[in-house]
Amino acid sequence: MTPNAQLIERTSARRKALAAQMIEHGGGIAIISTAPEALRNRDTEYPFRWDSYFYYLTGFTEPQATLVIRADSQGVETILFCREKNQEREIWDGYRYGPQQAQLSFGMDRALPVDQLNAEMPKLLANQSNVFVAMASNPTTDMQLQLWLGEVRAQARSGISAPRNTIDVLALIDEMRLRKDAHELGVMRRAAKISAQAHCRAMQTTRAGMHEYEVEAELLYEFKRHGSPFPAYGSIVAGGRNACVLHYRENSDRLVDGSLLLIDAGCELEGYASDITRTFPVSGKFSAAQQAMYELVLAAQDAAVKATKPGAHFMQPHEAAVRVLTQGMIDHGLIQGPLDEAISTERYKRFYMHRTGHWLGMDVHDCGDYRVQTSSDTEKPWRALEPGMVLTIEPGIYIQAAADIDPKFHDIGIRIEDDAVVTSQGCELITRDVPVSVREIEALMQR
C-alpha cells in the first residue's frame, strides 16, 4: 500500500515550494483539508474523491484528513492529521494507513489522529503572524478556524497572540498547479489517449435507434478497462437538438437517422482530467449543411490552435476563433455583416455563446487566474501563455430551429474540443488520436 518514491518526492517538493511562498509573506500556518464525504441517500455515500489541492500536496487519498504546514523563523514542519488504524472498520471499508504509517509513507514530519485536530490547532496557531487557508471554500473548515482562533485570543492575557492576517492559500497553490511538470504532462497524455480511444469506440458503435445512454456506456467501458476510475466530469452525449444545450446531461433520448451526435467526455487518470468533444453524424455521413457547419467550426479551431503559443494572451485563441466563426455565419446567412461590426456588437453570440477554452489539469476547469494584476493596471490584462500550461481549444456553433433560419441548419449543434499543451514553439494537441476531419470521421464510422 506504500506510495511510490516518485510520488513522495513530488509532493514533498511541492510542500517545500509552498512553505517558501509562505515565508515570503511573513510566515505562519497553512491548513488544507481534503474533501468531505457526501451522503447520497440514507446511509449510502457518493464515491469519495479527494480534494485536488490536498492531493497535489500530499498524494494521500483517504477521507477525513488535513495537512498543516508551519513555515516561520523556526523552520518548516509538515503535519498530517488522518484517521487512526481501525481493524474493524477496515473489514467494512478497506485499508487505512493510520498516523504512524502515513508519516513514513508520505514523507511527513509528523502525523496525528484527526480526532486531535481541534486540540492541536490552537497550539499551532499561537503567536503566528498569518494563517493560510482555503478562504470561503468549506463552511465546516471556516467554522473550525473561528473556534481555533477564538481559543488563541482567549489566551491574550498570557501574552499569546493570534494570527493577524488571513491569506488565501489556494491563490499560492494555483500558480504552482497552473504550470505542469513533465510527470503531470505524461499522465495527461495517457488520459488523453484513453479518452480518444473511447470517442473512437463511440463513433464505431453509434447507430440510429440507440439511446444516448447506450453510447455513454461505451465511453465508460473504455475508460474503466484502461484504468480510469471515473469520468473527469459528467459526460455529455447529445443527439440532434440536444447538442444545442451546452451542458446537456440527461443522455436519455433515442438517436435519429440524419441527425448529429455531440459527445463531450473525458476520463480522469491519477487525478488528472482529459476533455474531448467530437460531433459526428449518426448515420455515418454528414449532410451538406452539417458538413458546411462542421468545417466552419474546424477552421475556427485551426485558427485558435495557431494562436495558442507562448507570449500570446489567453483570449487570443478565442478572438481568432470568433473571427472565423463570425465570417462563416455571415457567409451562410445566419447573421448580417460587416464582419468587424458583427464582432463588436457580439451578433455572433446567438450561435456561439461560450469562450474557446479553459485551463485543464487536476480539475477539468482547472485553477489559475485568467487575468493578472500589475501595479499600474486599472483593468487586469489577460494572462500570457507559457510553456507547461494546458488548456482546451473548443469552438462551436449551436443553431436552434427558428423562423428566420434556413431549415437545413435547424438543430445543428457542433463543438470540436482538443487539449493543448503550450510548448516553446506553439502548442501540442494531445487528443488527436480521435479523428477530427470529415473524411476521417466518416471513414472510421463506415469501417
Residue 38, burial from CB neighbour count under 10 angstroms (0-12, 13-18, 19+): exposed
**Catalytic, out of 275, 366, 418, 442:** 275
Q: Is the peptide bond before 47 cis (omega within 30 degrees of 0)?
A: no
Q: Does residue 183 have an active-site annotation?
A: no
Strand 412-415 to 130-133 pairing: unpaired
DSSP character string of 268-295 = EETTEE--EEEEEETTSS--HHHHHHHH
Q: Which three cell numbers stand for residue 5?
A: 518514491
DSSP character string of 164-223 = SEEEEHHHHHHHHHHS--HHHHHHHHHHHHHHHHHHHHHHHH--TT-BHHHHHHHHHHHH
**Catalytic, out of 42, 247, 439, 447:** 247
Q: Does residue 318 have an active-site annotation?
A: no
DSSP code of residue 244: G
**Catalytic, out of 366, 398, 411, 418:** 398
Q: Does residue 398 have an active-site annotation?
A: yes
**Catalytic, out of 394, 418, 419, 442:** 394
Residue 182, burial from CB neighbour count under 10 angstroms (0-12, 13-18, 19+): exposed
Helices (H), ranges, 339-435: 339-344
**Catalytic, out of 222, 268, 358, 418:** 358
Q: Which residue has the cell 481555533?
A: 148
Q: Does residue 43 have an active-site annotation?
A: yes
Q: Does residue 439 have an active-site annotation?
A: no
Contact predicate 28/71, CB 8 Å: yes
**Catalytic, out of 365, 406, 432, 440:** 365
Q: Does residue 275 have an active-site annotation?
A: yes
Neighbouring CB atoms inside 10 A of 106's CB total: 23
**Catalytic, out of 151, 222, 411, 417:** 417
Strand 75-82 to 110-113 pairing: parallel
Q: Which residue has the cell 438517436?
A: 255
Q: Does residue 264 have an active-site annotation?
A: yes
Q: Does residue 354 have an active-site annotation?
A: yes
Residue 373, burial from CB neighbour count under 10 angstroms (0-12, 13-18, 19+): exposed
3-class DSSP assignment, residue 8: helix
Contact predicate 82/62, CB 8 Å: yes
Contact predicate 64/180, CB 8 Å: no
**Catalytic, out of 42, 43, 88, 439:** 43
Q: Which residue has the cell 488523453?
A: 192
The shares of helix, strand and coil residues in the chain, as percent rounded to the nearest 5, are 40, 20, 40
**Catalytic, out of 415, 418, 419, 442:** 415
Residues 209, 215, 219: CA angle, nearest 5 degrees: 170
Q: Does residue 394 have an active-site annotation?
A: yes
**Catalytic, out of 51, 184, 264, 442:** 264
Residues belonging to the active site: 43, 247, 264, 275, 354, 358, 365, 394, 398, 415, 417
